[in-house]
Amino acid sequence: MRAERIVARGFRNLADLDLPLPPGGAVFLGPNGHGKTNLLELLYYPVLFRSVRGARDVEVTRHGESGFQLVLSGAVGQRGSGAAVAQELSVRFRAADRRKSVLIDGVPPERLSEAIGHWLAVAFLPTDLRLVQGSALERRQYLDRVLALADRRYLRALSRYRRALAHRNAALRQQRPEVGAAFDEPLATAGTELVQQRLAWTRQAAGRFAAECDNLGELEPMALGYRGDESLADLGQWPAALRRSATRDQRLGMTTVGPHRHDLELRLGNRLLREVGSTGQQRTAAVGLKLCERATLAAASGGEPALLLDDVFAELDSDRRKRLAARLATRESGAGAGDEAGRAPQTFITSPRDDELPECFHLELLSVKAGRAQALSGFQRRVA
């Protein structure tokens, strides 16, 4: 889907807006603190119907408002044909009862999960460094997001796994292991599917990750691997694993076996990157993961996910900035059959100044001041 217009009310510090979106994307220019990042957050919201920055819905509601609403409309290319079909995603959130309603072309989905994946975007944020420096939870969330957006079967398995895990843990906290055991089978069935898909993705993405980091100018080899009990990709291994952990699980009041305890492992040579890598190397690895995310979503959808770049070039040296800009300006080879084949990704970039951007982006300029976004006079583009 290529976004064509976004309408929003009551979101963050943004003034109520009805904003046409250029086919190629735009540069959001303006002083810091005036709403540029909030605009990117707004654009990402219909990807997973939650904040890309992890904020609760009540927190993204503008102060003093009773809630927020947004409508993203665009065109979806049909595989095997040059035709495009209009699509509209809308969200309304009421702060009073914390109720959120989602519509796809005016019709509510039976489950929220059915709305996920209609609008695909990859966000590059300054906080992405947490993918390397942060806890295993950060990397699990990254992996779950990528695979859930790429494959609805993974999303369904993840939902089943989380439900079974929550019930099992509740029973363990209540010192009722016999009740918790009733959830062993659904936990194992869903968990097996999660581990299988995670392992398949990690093995496929490892080569791309290493190549992306190399192309971005990293001199030492970087590696991506899966850290966890890989035997749990076999359903038959779960009963023994749960029996071995039974005493510990009862003592701690939680399930200590399963993919919710696993991690992605990022290495620099033979050492853990988060322990020995410089900030520049860690940032390169974080960008490498995002490029793997982009490639995965492009291959799964047959189109180009939009790119949302929040001041992503500011912390890179000039060589890596040029390399990354050139990489982002090209389409993914995995995108193919839809009307987006051959087209560069729709790209939205924030920057305080136009002259701080790499020259390979040729995008319309939008001014963002005091929460208001508007096109600058004329149809301005960067000149290479």
Q: Which residue has the tokens 């790429």?
A: 150
Mean pLDDT computed over 129-135: 95
Give the CA distances from residue 262 to residues 94, 138, 256, in Å, rounded to whole numbers and listed in that order: 36, 11, 10
List the one residue out of 305, 261, 311 whose CA is nearest residue 283.
311
Which residue did the predictor score with more confidence, 319 or 215?
215
Residue 384 has pLDDT above 60, yes or no: no
**What's the helix, strand, coil split of the chain in %, to 5?**
45, 20, 35
For residue 104, list its beta bridge partners.
89, 107
Q: Is 123's pLDDT higher than 70?
A: yes
SS3 assignment, position 95: coil
Share of the chain above pLDDT 90, in %: 75
Q: If you count them, how many residues does the chain have? A: 384
Alpha helices in the chain (DSSP H): 36-48, 57-60, 130-133, 136-150, 152-173, 177-180, 184-215, 238-244, 246-252, 273-276, 279-301, 318-328
For the residues 320-342, what does the mean pLDDT come to? Answer: 69
Confidence of residue 82 (pLDDT cuts 50, 70, 90): low
**For the purposes of burial, counting CB atoms within 10 Å of the CB of 127, is it exposed (0-12), middle (13-18) or buried (19 or more)?**
middle
Conformational region of residue 59, where left means phi above 0, alpha means psi within -120 to 50, and beta covers everything else = alpha
pLDDT number for residue 382: 44
Buried b (16+ CB within 10 A) or exposed e, 318-329: eebbbbbbeebe
- Output the DSSP codes for 217-250: T--S-EEEEEES-GGGGSGGGHHHHHHHTHHHHH
Structure tokens at 37: 């990042």
* pLDDT-derived band at 107, boundaries 50, 70, 90: very high
**pLDDT tops 90 at residue 238:** yes
Domains of the chain with CATH codes: 1-120+306-384 (3.40.50.300), 132-304 (1.20.1050.90)
Containing H/E element for 123? strand 121-124
Q: Residue 337: what pLDDT?
A: 45
Averaged pLDDT, 217-239? 96
In this prediction the pTM is: 0.89
Question: Are 33 and 369 spatial neighbours (Cβ–Cβ below 8 Å)?
Answer: no
Place of tokens 């699980």: 249
| Angle between helices 136-150 and 36-48 in degrees, nearest 10 | 60
Contact of 68 with 11, CB cutoff 8 Å? yes
